[in-house]
Structure 1
Amino acid sequence: MDSLITAAARALATGDPLGALKRVALRDDAPGLALRGIAMAQLGDFVRAKALLRSAARGFGPKEAVARARCIVAEAEIALVSRDLSWPVKTLEVARATLQSHGDRVNAAHARNIEVRRLLLLGRIDDAERMLAELDPTPFPPASRAAHELIVAGMAIRRLQTKRARVALARAGHAAHLANIPALMAEVESASRVLDAPAARLIARGDERLLLLEEVETLLASPTFVVDACRHVVHGEGAVMSLATRPILFTLMRRLAEAWPADVSRSLLIADAFRTKHADESHRARLRVEMGRLRAMLRPMAEVSATERGFALATHHASDVVVLAPPTEERHASVLALLADGESWSSSALSIALGASPRTVQRALESLAATGKVQSFGRGPARRWMTPPVPDVPSILLLPGPLPSD
């Protein structure tokens, strides 16, 4: 490897893409193309970066499998950052195996980190943790250690483990300063701000207040009966019951919890659950059926009893009932939560991350765009969506992930 290539690689390793381009901007050999591609990626031109990396991969000879694998890993990272979740993961796995077999453990570990970050983005926390457990970050250079600790912090935040998250972010900050890469230090600072931002609203007995993530963790660990409107689950009596696939039952559950210890009228329950202003006997019959289903599911946790004017919730042992709601409630809050990371997303990537149909996501984006909450650029398959420069307060609880008790 000649001196210019070596100098450009060192510049990229320290987060200086312009310094790297000064040395290889006019080179069309495979190593030069690869470094130019990585530099363009660091500058945010992902389209040009991918084209350069693919040209570099084609330019390396049959004996340069490691160099081709490094190009694939770089392209996979660009796909992740640009939220191209349809990029073939198998290709990355093959590249990682190639790097591992040739002794390039640092880049193999970087490939593994990319796989874990993708799983984390999709909310597959258990799979991500199992994969990350295979890595020992001790021999990594500072930049790779910082990236590793950011992943650990992200997992801890999704599981509402704030102490573990703070420790991981402290280690990430130390490693980022050792690497002396401004962009990496900024990423750590941005991740740290999540712990000090409102994560949810506590609604109890007609009063509301904002909670930090640490306060949410404390609340869910307490004996309080909690109806979590962020993840559509109920916490009580040491158990967790998901109503994510039962929207009508969850609406009824939330209304009963918000009114506790008082009851809720049948007319209000019908209007909220069935979205109708004019109730007839069929609606009242349907309400009795749904209440019967809710009563059967809640039996290990609480009781739902009929009153003269409606229904009331009664817990077995909990002395308090509260509702945990997002800081700002939106019809398409889960879409906004993903877009709040500041990256541009395609509608197909949002569909994959949310587990929703492409048409459902497209309708949500169009609705949000009509109110100015999201904006798009590009056309056709290249169209991307993002939030305006100053988005509403997002909630980490709306992002894909396991239940807090998992």
Structure 2
Amino acid sequence: MDSMITAAAHALAGGDPLGALKRVALRDDAPALALRGIAMAQLGDLSRAKTLLKSAARAFGPREAMARARCVVAEAEIALVSRDLTWPSKALAAARVTLEAHGDRVNAAHARNLEVRRLLLIGHLDEAERVLAELDPAPLPSASRAAHELVVAGIAIRRLQTKAARAALTRAAHAARAANIPALTAEVESASLVLHTAAARVILHGEERPLLLEEVETLLESGTLVVDACRNVVRNAGTIVSLATRPVLFTLARVLGEAWPGDVPRSTLLARAFRAKHADESHRARLRVEMGRLRAELRTLADVKATKRGFTLVPRRSREVAVLAPPVEEQHAALLAFLADGESWSSSALAIALGASPRTVQRALEQLAEAGKVQSLGLGRARRWMTPPVLGFPTILLLPGPLPNE
């Protein structure tokens, strides 16, 4: 291995892509192509980076399996950052196995981190935790430890474990400072903001206020009967009744929860649950049937009692009833939540993440674009969607340095 390749790799490891390009920009051998691809990715030119990495993977010989595997890991990270969830995840797993077989622990660990980050994006928390448990972060360099702790924090935040998330972010900040990569430090600081911004709204006794993530955790552990509109469940301490597949029942539960301790007129319930402007006897009969079903679903948590003018919710073990709602609610709030990270997404990747059909997602994106809430870049299969640009930090790419013959 020549000194210029070594110097370029060290520059990339230290977060200096321009320094790396100065050393290999005019070279077309396989290691130089790989390093140029990684440098271009760190500079934000993902399209050029993918082309260079594919060329590098083809240029490496059959005996350089480890170098080709590193190129695959780099391609996988570029796909993840550009939110291309259709990129073949099996190729990343195969590359990780190759790296482990050749003793490249650092890049194998990085590949496993990428697997976990992809699972987080599509909401597979249990599988993400299982994959992460197989990784020992102790021998990793500082930059890789920071990336690992960011993944740990991401899982803890989604599990509403704020103490564990704060501890992981603190460890990530220490590791980022030790790595001395400014962009990585900025990434950790950006991730930490989620603990200091409103994560939900609570509606209690007719009043509404925003809640931080830690306050949400406290509410769910308080013994209050919570109608959770973020997950479409009704919960009290450790007992959870899911109404995610029963939208009418959940709407009725939410309306009753918002009005507690008062009752809700039948006309209001009909309008909210069935969108009936002029209710007739068939609507009222259906309301009685649905209320009976809701009473059966919530029998362990609360009773649904009829009053002279409507219905009321009576908790069995709780003194209070609260409704937990997303911080922002509109027709396509879930789609906007995925775009809120500032990265560009393809419509197919959004469909995978949301569990919806591609055509449904495409129609929603077109409506949001007409309203000026999202914008698209590119055409055809290369088309990507994102929120209008705002000031913020880009996602750091901790791409591996594919050095052959180590």
Deviation of 1:256 after TM superposition, in Å, equals 0.3
Residue matched to 2:164: 164
Matches of 1:29 and 1:238, distance apart in 2: 59
The answer (yes or no) to whether the contact 2:146–2:172 under 8 Å persists in 1 is yes
User: Is 1:56 matched with 2:56?
Assistant: yes
Equivalent residue runs for 1:90-101 within 5 Å: 90-101=90-101
Tell me the amino acid that sits aligned with residue 19 of structure 1.
G
How far apart, in 2, do the equivalents of 1:201 and 1:148 lie? 30
The question of whether the paired residues in 2 share the 8 Å contact of 1:223 and 1:238 is answered with no
Question: Which residues of 2 match residues 184-195 of structure 1 at below 5 A?
Answer: 184-195=184-195
Give the AA of the match of 1:356: A
Aligned to 2:366: 366
- Give the structure 2 partner of residue 278 of structure 1: 278
Aligned residues with identical type, % of pairs: 76
Aligned equivalents of 1:337 and 1:178: distance in 2?
A: 32
Q: 1:225-259 CA deviation, whole Å, 9 max, x = no partner?
A: 10111111111263011111111111100000011
Structure 1 counterpart of 2:286, one-letter code: R
Q: What corresponds to 1:17 in structure 2?
A: 17
Q: Which residue of 1 aligns with 2:174?
A: 174
Task: Give per-residue Cα distances to partners, 1:92-151, cap 9 Å, x unaligned.
Answer: 111111111111111111111111110111111110111111111010000000000000
TM-score (norm 2): 0.95
**Residue matched to 1:356:** 356
60-69 or 283-292: bigger deviation:
283-292
CA distance in 2, matches of 1:211, 1:120: 23
Moved more, 229-238 or 162-171: 229-238
1:211-237 Cα offsets, whole Å, 9 max, x none, are 100000000011101011111111126
CA drift at 1:389 = 3.0
Q: Which amino acid letter does the alignment assign opposite residue 188 of structure 1?
A: V
Q: Is 1:4 aligned to 2:18, yes or no?
A: no
Distance 1:276 1:35 in 2: 63
Task: Give, in whole Å, the separation in 2 of the partners of 1:256 and 1:237.
Answer: 19
Contact 2:221 2:237 in 1 (8 A): no
In structure 2, the partner of 1:402 is none
Q: How does 1:74-113 map to 2 (within 5 A)?
A: 74-113=74-113
Question: What does residue 324 of structure 1 align with?
Answer: 324
Which whole-Å CA distance do the structure 2 matches of 1:205 and 1:217 have between them? 20
Q: Provide the residue aligned with 2:141 in structure 1.
A: 141
CA contact 1:237–1:317 (8 Å) conserved in 2? no
Question: What's 2:303 paired with?
Answer: 303
Question: In structure 2, how many angstroms separate the alpha carbons of the residues matched to 1:60 and 1:152?
Answer: 34
Aligned: 1:29 with 2:22: no
Structure 1 unaligned segments of length 5 or more: list them: 392-406
Q: Retained in 1: the 8 A contact 2:220–2:236?
A: no
Does residue 263 of structure 2 align to residue 263 of structure 1?
yes
Question: For residues 57 and 27 of structure 1, what CA distance do their matches in structure 2 show?
Answer: 15
CA distance in 1, matches of 2:5, 2:237: 63
Q: What is the deviation of 1:154?
A: 0.3
> Whole-Å Cα distance in 2 between the matches of residues 50 and 175 of structure 1?
28
User: For 1:63 and 1:390, how far apart are their aligned partners in 2?
Assistant: 46
**SS of alignment partner, residue 279 of structure 2:** coil
**Deviation (angstroms), 1:276:** 2.4
Q: Which amino acid is 1:365 matched to?
A: L
- Contact map agreement 2:37 2:50 (CA 8 A) in 1: yes
Q: Measure the CA separation in 2 of the matches of 1:328 and 1:387.
A: 15
Tell me how far apart the structure 1 counterparts of residues 366 and 234 of structure 2 sit (CA, whole Å).
Answer: 31
Tell me: CA distance 1:93–1:238, structure 2 relative to 1, closer, same or farther (3 Å): closer
Comparing 42-51 and 145-154, the one that deviates more: 42-51
Q: Distance in 1 between matches of 2:294 and 2:188?
A: 43
- What letter matches 2:20 in structure 1? A
Whole-angstrom CA distance in 1 between matches of 2:283 and 2:385 = 40
The within-5 A match list for 1:162-241 is 162-236=162-236, 238-241=238-241
Which runs of 4 or more aligned residues in structure 1 lie more than 2 Å from their structure 2 counterparts after TM superposition? Answer: none
Contact kept? 1:237, 1:318, Cα under 8 Å: no
3-state SS of paired residue (2:210): strand
Q: Contact 1:237 / 1:301 at 8 angstroms: preserved in 2?
A: no
Q: Is the 8 A contact 2:20 2:36 kept in 1?
A: yes
Q: Which residue of 1 aligns with 2:402?
A: none
Write the letter of the residue equivalent to 2:99: L
State the distance in 2 between where 1:309 and 1:263 align.
8
1:238-249 matches, within 5 Å, as 238-249=238-249
Partner letter of residue 346 of structure 2? S
206-215 or 370-379, which deviates more: 370-379
* Letter paired with 1:101: A
Amino acid at match of 2:100: Q
Match of 2:394 in 1: none
CA distance in 2, matches of 1:50, 1:390: 25
Q: Distance in 2 between matches of 1:110 and 1:310?
A: 58
Equivalent pair of 1:8/1:19 in contact (CA under 8 Å): yes
Pick which of 278-287 and 57-66 moved more: 278-287
1:290 corresponds to which residue? 290
Whole-Å separation in 2 of the counterparts to 1:51 and 1:283: 60
How many angstroms apart in 1 are the aligned matches of 2:222 and 2:100? 46
Q: Is the 1:270–1:279 contact (alpha carbons within 8 Å) kept by the matching residues of 2? A: yes
